[in-house]
């Protein structure tokens, strides 16, 4: 690992990201942490490029992806980072499953069907159940998931519903 200071910063920000995502959610705190992390990650990417495994280690590379994944208020950054993450995956410097999650996040933000079935949302009413966002070509979904190291969609859907529940 080349950049231990950057790795430590990524890990600290990931920890903060996860701490704020508690039950019940404190949405203003959540948004503030995401905004701060997004601004910070943008400056990191501008100065250093995408945080690669060989430079920051696996765990910090995961942290970079997580911060990008939670940068929903800045879809322009997510779109740019998606290309950088794609390049990193192509060179064995990032996890393909992370690329699947960020791809789906960007597609859903653009109002397009996701490819890997990673994104779930409740409907517009507070009583609406949690459900997968629209998925493109469902017949080949599990093949795409397998190709990036994700398990079967049915297992993931069951996990999402058990973890986040129909009425949580």
Q: Where are the domains of the chain?
A: 4-94
What lies within 8 Å, CB to CB, of 79 at 6+ separation is: 106
Total length of the chain: 168
The helix/strand count (H/E) of the chain reads as: 8, 2
Span 107-155, pLDDT tens digits: 999 999 999 999 999 988 778 899 999 999 999 999 999 999 999 999 9
130-132/120-122 β-pairing: antiparallel
Task: Give the ranges where 21-140 is alpha helix by DSSP (H).
Answer: 27-48, 53-56, 58-69, 75-90, 96-109
Output phi, psi for 48, to 5 deg: -120, -10
Asked whether residue 168 carries a pLDDT value surpassing 50, the answer given is: no
Say yes or no to pLDDT of 166 above 80: no
Q: Which residue has the tokens 């397009």?
A: 112
Average pLDDT, the chain: 94
The stretch 29-54 carries a mean pLDDT of 97
Least confident of 76-90, 135-149, 153-167: 153-167
DSSP state of 73: T
Is the overall model pTM greater than 0.75, yes or no? yes
């Amino acid at each position: 690992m080349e950049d231990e200071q950057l790795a430590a910063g990524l890990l600290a920000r990931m920890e903060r990201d996860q701490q704020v995502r508690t039950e019940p959610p404190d949405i203003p705190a959540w948004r503030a942490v995401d905004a701060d992390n997004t601004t910070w990650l943008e400056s990191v990417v501008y100065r250093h490029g995408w945080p690669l495994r060989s430079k920051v280690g696996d765990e910090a590379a995961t942290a970079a992806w997580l911060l990008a994944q939670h940068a929903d208020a800045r879809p322009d950054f997510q779109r740019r980072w998606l290309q950088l993450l794609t390049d990193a995956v192509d060179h064995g410097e990032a996890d393909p499953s992370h690329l699947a999650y960020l791809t789906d996040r960007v597609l859903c933000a653009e109002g397009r069907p996701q490819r890997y079935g990673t994104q779930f949302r409740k409907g517009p009413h507070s009583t609406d159940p949690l459900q997968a966002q629209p998925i493109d070509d469902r017949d080949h979904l599990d093949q795409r998931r397998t190709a990036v190291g994700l398990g079967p969609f049915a297992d993931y859907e069951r996990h999402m519903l058990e973890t986040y529940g129909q009425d949580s």
